[in-house]
Amino acid sequence: MAANHFTDLREKLKSMTPHRDNYKKVSHHRDGGSEKRKYQDSGDEVCEYEELRESEARKVKGGITQVCVFTPEECTRIEEKIDEVVANGNEGLYKEHTVDRAPLRNKYFFGEGYTYGAQLEKRGPGQERLYSKGEVDEIPGWVYELVINRLVAQGVIAEGFVNSAVINDYQPGGCIVSHVDPKHIFERPIVSVSFFSDSALCFGCKFQFKPIRVSEPVLYLPVRRGSVTMLSGYAADDITHCIRPQDIKKRRAVIILRKTRPNAPRLEANSMSSSANSLTERRRMLKAKRSHRKADPNAAHRPRILEMDKEQQRRSLLSRQQSHGDGGLENSWRTAEAASHYTPPHRVPTHRRVKMRRH
């Protein structure tokens, strides 16, 4: 990506209008030895900011194509096949790198798979690598029959374009963080087909975690069940896209169809085994911590409790206790005092010798 390109709109805004957050701009002028201040209202900067956002949104829209191809009946048939893929993955019928699991989101790579995110030994854009040939399962026949051939017949994509198909299966509250599909691995356009429910694709967002928060998007794009969305140009290369947790209200699956570049870098056989071993070791270490946790699909749709809210709740509880008077506190003291003098019946005191150990 060129040095003057930005994946986060706020970086571009900061470079263009570094003082836009100031309410007033002060400039000093000297007139006959006396210094005068002229205050300029920030309204002009706000207008400039809004114009920049609208210009950015227009560029994004210019790289998006959406068409509705699949009927509800066709969607139902494809969704049954997606359920079969999920069942096969749960039974361990696929190769190791075909299935990639994450909280509330599972990926299934077919044809071509690649390393990304925490799987990378050296992180950052441009570090993604394709797996060696044969490390993931081939594209299922039903994907060609029910999806790819249908798009070729409709003139949406060219015949022979697709050699990579990824199925993302989202549970309610699932998400995928802001990213750009690796330009050194995949050609354009990026084609995705949505199933099970309606959702949205957002551009130019920034994620924060613990708790998870997402900034306002530059463009909010509704995505309907059975629709095809294609990204190219500015929308695919010069701005990030994501799926926010609040936009997955029901289960949703998307089939992403792409073509890998002939010169896309691949993992070496030895480096692939070492990275796979390190990833397996990381998962083994985390398994004991995560095995007792169960994701709550409704958590993303509940209002999040911040620390300030917890403090306010504690103060409210304390004020309610004080409003009831000393009666409640007195009862609690009496209960604690009675518990301190309580002796279990038929309990014989035992004497035990303790051996002192020098440290």
Active site residues: 114
Sheet holding 227-231, edge to edge: 64-68, 227-231, 190-195, 252-258, 164-170, 105-110, 99-102
Phi, psi of 152 (to 5 degrees): -65, -45
Spatial distance between the Cα atoms of 312 and 162, rounded to a whole number of angstroms = 55
* CA–centroid distance for 56 within its chain: 22
Residue 138, C-beta contacts closer than 8 angstroms, at least 6 positions apart: 110, 111
SS3 259: coil
Assigned token pair, 47? 């207008």
Spatial distance between the Cα atoms of 157 and 115, rounded to a whole number of angstroms = 26
Spatial distance between the Cα atoms of 1 and 5, rounded to a whole number of angstroms = 7
Contact assessment for residue 226 and residue 195, using Cβ atoms and an 8 Å cutoff: yes
Assigned token pair, 214? 């997402």
Long-range contacts formed by 300-305: CB under 8 A, 24+ apart? 300/172, 300/173, 300/175, 300/245, 300/246, 300/248, 301/172, 301/173, 301/246, 301/249, 304/211
Q: What is the 3-state secondary structure (H, E, C) of 73-131?
A: HHHHHHHHHHHHHHHHHHCCCCCCCCEEEECCEEEEEECCCEECHHHCCCCCCCCCEEC
Assigned token pair, 178? 């802001």
Contact assessment for residue 88 and residue 140, using Cβ atoms and an 8 Å cutoff: no
